Amino acid sequence: MKNIKFMDFCAGIGGGRIGLENLGMSCLGYSEIDKDAEITYKHFFGGDEKNFGDLMKINPDDLPNFDFMVGGFPCQTFSIIGNRCGLRDKDRGQIIYGLVNLLKAKDVKYFILENVKGLVNHDKGNTFKTVLKLLDNAGYKVSHEILNSLNFGVPQMRERIYLVGVQKRLIDDDFKFEFPKKYNGNHKKLEECLIDDEELTFDEKLSSYKTFLKYLDNKYNKNKYDIDNLLSLDYTVIDTRQSDLRIYHKKTPTLRRGRHGILYVKNGKFRKLSGYEALLLQNFPKRYANNVKGKVSNSKLLQQSGNAMTSTVIEELGYNLMKAVGNV
């Protein structure tokens, strides 16, 4: 696959890029408008490739020719926790039109696109039908499936819809893409990810800890939880939501841009999930995570990890696609 060139659109901090590079593909450039994410991206990959910026303003003639598009186009407008405006969102929801225009203009052979699973049912399924029709009319055979990152080498529950496309002219009528069911590489255990050695303990010294105690005593949680019991088992993961508290073992809930309330137990003490650990939960290699430690704030890394694609899912999808078209 070393002869496959790709572009990374709505790149975030490059989770999709890592997945395709693991297959030997080469990145020619990327498109990202979030300046903070761009800083992290450059720490990870260096500053050699050009950021082409807002894809809605890109002149296709300014892009190099490439074979493969990967992109996690903005999901907030389709998410259950977002505003669910969908394609009516003039800035984010219509990014799909910009991606389709670039696919056609550059005669791109293959793509992998990712979004929240809420896209499938948004507007009673009409939004998703519109997206699929756009891609079909652009000349692509599209397959789609909801996959959970938990089955792809990381201890994080993360369901996302993936769209995999190949130009119709490259395949026979009986072509069928098979979605992977699991990751064929090493599966990380939770304790391999929760290794930040910074002082992120969560105890009575903090005012937020007192708020946590009040939270445990609210009408939803009163008499349900005991501090000593919560602290009795290392690597218990605690998600503090608006009303109810949720407990996980051997896995974490979905990382999200706005979710910073994840705690876990280690050595009998509460700790806050750090941005460094969030990167590992998305399967960013340690060498990349080490590159940003102390250079990008903890809160920024938590946000960016919540927006990122899980690299192992993209890697498996890319491999299966290349295998299906006879390029392995």
Q: Mind listing the pLDDT tens digit for each residue in 11-49?
A: 999 999 999 999 999 999 999 999 999 999 999 999 788
Of residues 10, 27, 75, 193, which has the active-site annotation? 75
Query: Does residue 31 lie in a domain region?
Result: yes
User: What's the Cα-to-Cα distance from 196 to each of 112, 272, 279, 293, 298, rounded to whole Å?
Assistant: 32, 10, 11, 10, 11
Query: Does residue 283 lie in a domain region?
Result: no
Say whether pLDDT at 84 is over 50: no
Say whether pLDDT at 92 is over 80: no
Query: Does residue 129 lie in a domain region?
Result: yes
What kind and span of H or E run contains 229?
Answer: helix 227-230
Say whether pLDDT at 85 is over 70: no
Q: Do 61 and 86 belong together in one domain? A: yes
Q: Do 247 and 267 belong together in one domain? A: yes
In contact, 261 and 239? CB cutoff 8 Å = yes
Q: Do 76 and 14 belong together in one domain? A: yes
173-177, 282-286, 310-314: least confident range: 173-177
Query: Does residue 280 lie in a domain region?
Result: no
Overall average pLDDT of the 71-79 stretch: 62
Q: Do 53 and 117 belong together in one domain? A: yes
Q: What is the pLDDT of residues 174-189, one digit of tens each?
A: 899 999 999 988 999 9
Q: Do 150 and 28 belong together in one domain? A: yes
CA 128 to chain CA centroid, Å, is 19
More confident site: 2 or 103? 103
Query: Does residue 30 lie in a domain region?
Result: yes
Overall average pLDDT of the 275-300 stretch: 96
Query: Does residue 109 lie in a domain region?
Result: yes
Q: Do 163 and 205 belong together in one domain? A: no
- Domain residues for the domain of 168 are 5-188+305-324
User: What is the count of structural domains for the chain?
Assistant: 2
In contact, 144 and 163? CB cutoff 8 Å = yes
Say whether pLDDT at 82 is over 50: no
Say whether pLDDT at 103 is over 80: yes
Q: Do 24 and 143 belong together in one domain? A: yes
Taking each helix axis from N to C end, the angle separating 95-105 and 126-137, rounded to the nearest 10 degrees, works out to 10
Q: Do 206 and 168 belong together in one domain? A: no
CATH number at residue 43: 3.40.50.150
Q: What is the pLDDT of residue 8?
A: 98
Instruction: Specify the pTM.
Output: 0.92
Which band of pLDDT confidence, cut at 50, 70 and 90, is reported for residue 95?
confident
Judge whether 10 counts as a catalytic residue: no
Which band of pLDDT confidence, cut at 50, 70 and 90, is reported for residue 261?
confident
Q: What is the pLDDT of residue 75?
A: 52
Q: What is the pLDDT of residues 194-224, one digit of tens each?
A: 999 887 889 999 998 999 999 999 999 999 9
Q: Is 196 helix (H, G, I), strand (E, B) or coil?
A: coil
Query: Does residue 311 lie in a domain region?
Result: yes
